Structure 1
Amino acid sequence: MGLGSYWGEVIEVLREIIPVYDKVNSYISLGKDVEHRNRGIAGRVFPGNKILDAGSGFGNMSKTALKLCDGKISITLYDPLVPMLKNTGTHFEKTPDLINGVFEHIPFKNEEFDAVLCGYSLRDAINLRIAISEIHRVLKDKGRFVIVDLGKPDEAVIRFGVSFYLRFILPILALIAGGRLGLKFGTLYGTYKRWPQNKKLEKLLLEKFSKVEFEKDLMGGAIMIAAYK
């Protein structure tokens, strides 16, 4: 499970859409991206925590965590795209630590972080099982792995509805929000096809983590997960 050889194409698209990334994401999530980040992080990140924002993009998960903890957390943004990391400066009062890399080879020692946050990014792992194992490794005992992402409903009819939205409706919204660059968000459907169904993802997390809290919205098309080491 994971993107495998498709990863290179996805990364190149992500590099191109940096100028419209946030605006389009807000449109295609039907304006619920902020709510979902808050729901995923609340009660799972605490003042004094050391946080790894993995697949951070501009650090939206970290910004949410900062607000919820009155700025009293330590943050490392970790992303495969250097240009994405370079664009974080205007998003934080104090620039966090910035590290470039992929999920499958996280360059930190064992048990270094209190929480790892993945906002709309774990779906882009090259190898999902290895990515989850690496995240588990760098978490402290009782650490939390928070995922906010698209969900792939277990029920066939609902899954068809979500797929239809991603394949046909999303490109229209992305074009409205981001112009011609927005059309490149069509690759999102390719990542969704390779993403496991909700129950399978939960089972995969339970291979490494002791407990998984799995919340859904939009009929299972959006998921907020907390996995506990």
Structure 2
Amino acid sequence: MGLGSSYWSEVIEVLREIIPIYDKVNSIISLGKDVEHRNRGISGRVLKGNKILDAGSGFGNMSKTALKLTDGEISITLYDPLVPMLKNTGSHFEKIPDMANGVFEHIPFRDEEFDAVLCGYSLRDAINLRVAISEIHRVLKKEGRMVIVDLGKPDESFIRAGVAFYLRCILPILAFSAGGKLGLKFGTLYGTFKRWPQNKKLEELLLEKFSRVEFEKDLMGGAIMVAAYK
């Protein structure tokens, strides 16, 4: 379960191309709910003094949210497969955080190193989802938290079809209006959604490794905020 290496390479190349419009378009296609969802996912799960890994960090939006919620009293490492994405993060932070380059399936950190791992609109792009979850579990301290904010794939077929219609037909129009022709490349979201497990299945996958999962939904299950506790 996951994108597989071939499709992952296609998605990564698209992400590389859309760096200039990434944040602008993401805000619009999330119907302006991305900030709210990050706040809901992180609040109470990242605490002052925590050491954080922002996995699939992009420009570090999850980390910036965590910094605000903890008055800046956390340690952050941004981790992303795209070096150009990491290079563009400097202007987004008052103090440039630690950074590392790599994929979910081979996280280059010691066992039990982090208090929380944040995955904001990124875990869906894992090559192998089960391996990715296992690696995140490994680098978390005892009682550490994995926080996921992402698209949800509703369990109810009718609602799931509605989300798929939005991603396949409406999202490209919104992305084009915000980012021009480059915005059309956000259409790959539909491909990642097709390979993403339904909400109940994702919860089951997390419970294979984690002791407890809090699963919160919005937009009829089309958006999820999840916390998995080691």
Could you tell me the TM-score, scaled by structure 1's length? 1.00
Task: Give the match for residue 192 of structure 1.
Answer: 193
Distance 2:178 2:98 in 1: 31
> 1:84 is matched by which residue type in structure 2?
M
Match in the other structure for 1:110: 111
Deviation (angstroms), 1:146: 0.1
CA separation in 1, counterparts of 2:163 and 2:102? 30
Say if 2:11 is the partner of 1:24: no
The alpha-carbon deviation at position 76 of structure 1 amounts to 0.1
Aligned to 2:134: 133
Task: Specify the SS of the correspondent of 1:169.
Answer: helix
Amino acid at match of 2:65: T
Residue 2 of structure 2 corresponds to 2
1:183 CA displacement = 0.3
Q: CA deviation at 1:11?
A: 0.2
Give 1:179's aligned residue: 180
Equivalent position amino acid for 2:199 in 1:
N
Partner of 2:97 in structure 1?
Answer: 96
**Which amino acid is the alignment partner of residue 2 of structure 1?**
G
Q: Aligned residue for 2:227?
A: 226
Alignment of 1:158-173 (within 5 A): 158-173=159-174
Listed as ranges, the gaps of 5+ residues in structure 2 are: none
Aligned to 1:43: 44
Q: Equivalent pairs: percent with the same residue?
A: 87
* One-letter code aligned to 1:171: P
Letter matched to residue 185 of structure 1: F
**Matched residues in 2 for 1:170 and 1:141: separation?**
40
- Deviation of 1:65 (Å): 0.1
Aligned to 1:84: 85
Instruction: Report the residue type matching 2:87 in the other structure.
Output: K
- The SS at the match of 1:132 is helix
1:151 maps to 152
Quick one: distance in 2 between partners of 1:134 and 1:140?
Answer: 12
What secondary structure, in the 3-state scheme, does the structure 1 residue paired with 2:217 have?
strand
TM-superposed CA distance for 1:220, in Å, is 0.1
Using the alignment, how far apart are the partners of 2:207 and 2:92 within structure 1?
Answer: 34
- Structure 1 Cα separation of the partners of residues 19 and 92 of structure 2: 14
The secondary structure found in structure 2 opposite 1:13 is: helix
Uncovered stretches (5+) of structure 1, i.e. residues with no partner:
none
Matches within 5 A, 1:50-65: 50-65=51-66
Runs of 4+ in 1 over 6 A off after TM superposition: none
1:178 to partner: Cα distance: 0.7
* C-alpha distance after superposition, 1:135-167 (max 9, x if no partner): 000000000000000000000000000000000
Aligned match of 2:214 = 213
| Alignment root-mean-square deviation, CA | 0.3
Aligned counterpart, 2:70 = 69
SS in 2 for 1:154: coil
For residue 103 of structure 1, report the CA deviation from its aligned partner.
0.2
Distance 2:175 2:11 in 1: 16
Post-superposition offset of 1:168: 0.1
The CA distance in 1 between the partners of 2:142 and 2:21, in whole Å, is 38
Shift of 1:124: 0.1
| Structure 2 counterpart of 1:206, one-letter code | L
**Counterparts of 1:181 and 1:31, CA distance in 2:** 20
Structure-1 separation of matches of 2:47 and 2:206: 22
